[in-house]
Copies of this chain bind each other. A is one copy, B any other.
Amino acid sequence: MNIELLNTGSELMLGRVLNTHQQWLCRRLADLGCVVTRQVAVPDTAHDIQSAVREALSRADLVIATGGLGPTSDDLTRDLMAQLLGKKLRLDEAVLDHIKKRFAARNLPMLKNNEVQALVPEGALVLANLNGTAPGLAMKIDEDGRWKMEDEQTLHAPSSILNSPSSRSPKWLIMLPGPPRELRPMFDNFVVPLLRREFPPDAPFVCRTLRTSGIAESLVQAKIEAPLNTLAAAGLEIGYCARTGQVDVRLSARGGNGKKIVRAAEAIVQKILGAQIYGFDDETIETVVVRLLTERKKTLVVAESCTGGCIANHVTNVPGASAVFLGCFVTYSNEVKQKFLGVRAETLAAHGAVSEVVAREMAEGARSQLGADFALAVTGIAGPDGGTKEKPVGTVFVGLAGDFGTVVERKFNPFERETFKEVTAWQALEMLRVRMVCP
């Protein structure tokens, strides 16, 4: 089964917004055993959208298109797809009623241009929009692969559509609205059941990601490749994805033995890499840290200077964090470091705010202020300004205080500001994880 994803939107091509639909939809589909074979993004122009849909339908059994269903003049998808498939648009009274009610509930006037969202191509399934106005649309393409081509001359390879082996089984074209909080529940509520019915998985797909830290990509491969040879011959696929200080190892397989193969591979890699594996699948470092703290009934407090709340923000993204996370001080100025964390004026004068000693005093001060089991503290130079020869931009001290005492590590993260904050937050949480699993 081939699945293609088509994201429409000139804002994507101009780089004005990040395409979060790709990751979200690809992930959901992979979890259903349906791996997306191609993703395409095109601008909001009739020619680009129609030719992309035609090409996708020539290759795929299922095409999911996002965007272009709204009320404004650049929302073209509804009209173009009806035209491409030779269908008329009809006014759906139930949808119109839903739109009117949404405006009324908000005491807003409903403008005429919102009515276009109630037009649906004849024969299309209407997918209700629980969080917005424009419904989704699902269209089954005739089993013999015949649909009306309005504009044949722009078609790249008409013969391949009609003759391709998959054109004999029905194809589906599903259109979803662009805003994520409209698209996501619509996909879960209506598209998932449709896919389960129309495309029951033939060969289950099993995938497991092992997330490692502190080891280079080439070294990870060198260590695990040979021991996995037999499983690779049996169908195991191995993928690597490197980030700063981290490497994800992805183990996957298809078919009846897929689960067994992936489990065996995971056991081998676990034995080789041990505690260098910090998490599995989507587990983030903050999820792992909150889980470990919860299991051990320990509490955490954080004192952040240069990371400016980034660590606290990550930790509080985890549901249930409130049981182990007491709070955080974002202490940008020296006065605040003194007043709330008890950092001594002499220490600041002698060593500067970005120093091993200040990181230590921040961690110890934060820990004793809130009576926490662990305290993390960071102080550094995020840039773009503020660097010196001895402490260039990117220099950072990470302190960890606990009943074992206090340790401080010096790191160098010479990246632009946001990456600096993210990488430093990651390192701080990883320090805490390692301390908990290898005390």
Contacts and interface: CB of A to CB of B under 8 A. Distances in A.
Nearest to A114: B218
Interface string A386-399: 00000000000000
A179 B244 CA distance: 8
A17 interface: yes
A313 interface: yes
A26 B325 CA distance: 39
B327 A329 contact: yes
Interface in A317-333: 317, 319, 321-322, 325-333
A428 to B, nearest CB: 13
A100 interface: no
Interface in A6-23: 9-20, 22-23
B35 A13 contact: yes
Contact of A44 (B239, B243, B244): B239
Given A11-B250, A40-B40, A316 B312 contact: no
A173 to B, nearest CB: 19
Interface stretch (A68-76, A140-148, A255-263, A271-279): A68-76
A415 B317 CA distance: 13
Interface string A298-313: 0000101001111111
A248 B11 contact: yes
Interface in A181-240: 181, 207, 209, 216-219, 221-222, 225, 237-240
Interface stretch (A80-88, A119-127, A417-425): A417-425
A22 B11 contact: no
A401 interface: no
Interface residues of A, number: 105
A38 interface: yes
A382 B19 CA distance: 25
A27 interface: yes
A30 B15 contact: yes
A347 interface: no
- Which residue, of A216, A221, A308, has the highest number of chain B Cβ atoms within 10 A? A308
Contact of A330 (B156, B327, B382): B327
B316 A309 contact: yes
A254 interface: no
A327 B319 contact: no
A317 B336 CA distance: 19
A264 interface: no
Nearest to A222: B111
A130 to B, nearest CB: 11
Contacts of A221: 71-73, 113
Interface string A39-60: 1111110001000100000000
7 contacts: A14-B27, A38-B42, A38-B52, A40-B40, A111-B222, A316-B330, A319-B384
Closest A-B pairs by Cβ, 9 of them: A308-B316, A15-B27, A309-B312, A15-B26, A309-B309, A328-B330, A309-B313, A39-B41, A313-B313
